[in-house]
Amino acid sequence: MHALILCENHEWRVTSDVPMRAVQAGLLALGHKATVLAPGVWPITDCVPDVVFVWNGFKGWRGQCVQQFGGMGVPVIIMERAFFDRHKYTQFDHAGFNHAASWGAHLHEPAPPEGKARLEAAWGTPRPIAKRDGYLLALLQTVGDAQLRGVELAHPAVLAKAIDVAAPDMLIRLRAHPLFPWDVGKPTRCEMIRGTLADAVSGARFVVTCNSNAGNEALAMGCPVLAVGPSLYGIAGVARTATPATLEAELQTMADGWLPGEGARDNYLHWLASRQWSAAEIADGECLRGVLDAATA
């Protein structure tokens, strides 16, 4: 098999966050040919590879390459930071990442047997999930994030306003995404909360978010989650899902103490842990075998 690895020069040099060199090593360990290519004017290569690896893959030259190679019938495996210890682990899938991943359809099935040990190694033991007192905590996203396409309440200002209107009797706290330091501005019922995610979640009755990875961490911390828009935790049924039309009713359901089943929550977290790999594991190649088989089936 001939695999094409598309990456910018800095992604090839920086091996910690974007493990392109580990991908090359893993492919070679499996006996495949692996060509590394920097982006350029299309067509960027005169060969037709069997598979392509690219980081994220929705915007700019990456999105163009995904569309072009996809139109040629060449599967594109999209890489992204994973779910726990995100700068150490990477996720791979030919359909996309997070809620777009192909394996999301299997979340109601038992997780791979190694999932529990992998979760404990990357995160620790999840806290029991139980009814809680405290505020409604909205975890905000970065504006323009690729995975928020089609989410109607994605912008922090829009989500804050919608929650303010739909939950008039609830104490509301907002936490900005670390990469998008948005502030609600003048004093309103929706107040910003600072500090760590763990500190914010510790005082929350439940969390509201789009499809932020912070929702996974909130679940692992034992906090119920309401997703606004599509998410892996919504697909798994371990979080409730709201639309603008159902937000008021769903917020009330959460305030009344809705909880996912403990076993279902744990099974979901085990799935996540089993779908993320370290650079050393990627370079070994074995984890790429299943990814390639699924992409080229």
Provide the residue range defining the domain that includes 20.
2-101+275-296
Q: For residue 10, tell me if it sits in a domain.
A: yes
- DSSP 8-state secondary structure symbol assigned to residue 1: -
Residue 130 CA to residue 121 CA, distance in Å, equals: 24
In a shared domain, residues 93 and 151: no
Q: For residue 233, tell me if it sits in a domain.
A: yes
In a shared domain, residues 163 and 264: yes
Q: Would you place residue 14 in the very low, low, confident or very high pLDDT band (cuts 50, 70, 90)?
A: confident
In a shared domain, residues 266 and 224: yes
In a shared domain, residues 144 and 69: no
Q: For residue 201, tell me if it sits in a domain.
A: yes
Q: For residue 144, tell me if it sits in a domain.
A: yes
In a shared domain, residues 34 and 45: yes
Query: Is 222 buried (19+), middle (13-18) or exposed (0-12) by CB count in 10 A?
Result: middle
Q: For residue 126, tell me if it sits in a domain.
A: no
In a shared domain, residues 45 and 144: no
DSSP string, 162-224: HHHHH-TTS-EEEE-BTTB-----S--SEEE--S-HHHHHHTEEEEEESS-THHHHHHHTT--
CATH code for the domain of 226: 3.40.50.2000
Dump pLDDT digits (tens) for 145-188: 656 566 777 788 888 999 999 999 999 999 998 877 878 876 67
pLDDT number for residue 149: 62
- Per cent of the chain over pLDDT 90 is 71
Give the tokens for residue 8: 């910018």
Structurally, how many domains does the chain consist of?
Answer: 2
In a shared domain, residues 6 and 51: yes
Strands 89-93 and 76-81: antiparallel
CATH code for the domain of 90: 3.40.50
In a shared domain, residues 97 and 29: yes
Q: For residue 222, tell me if it sits in a domain.
A: yes
**What is the value of pTM for the model shown?**
0.93
Give me the amino acid identity at 160.
A
DSSP string, 26-89: HHHHTT-EEEEE---SSS--SS--SEEEEES-SSHHHHHHHHHHHHTT--EEEEEE-SSSTTTE
Residue 209 has φ and ψ, to the nearest 5°, of -155, 170
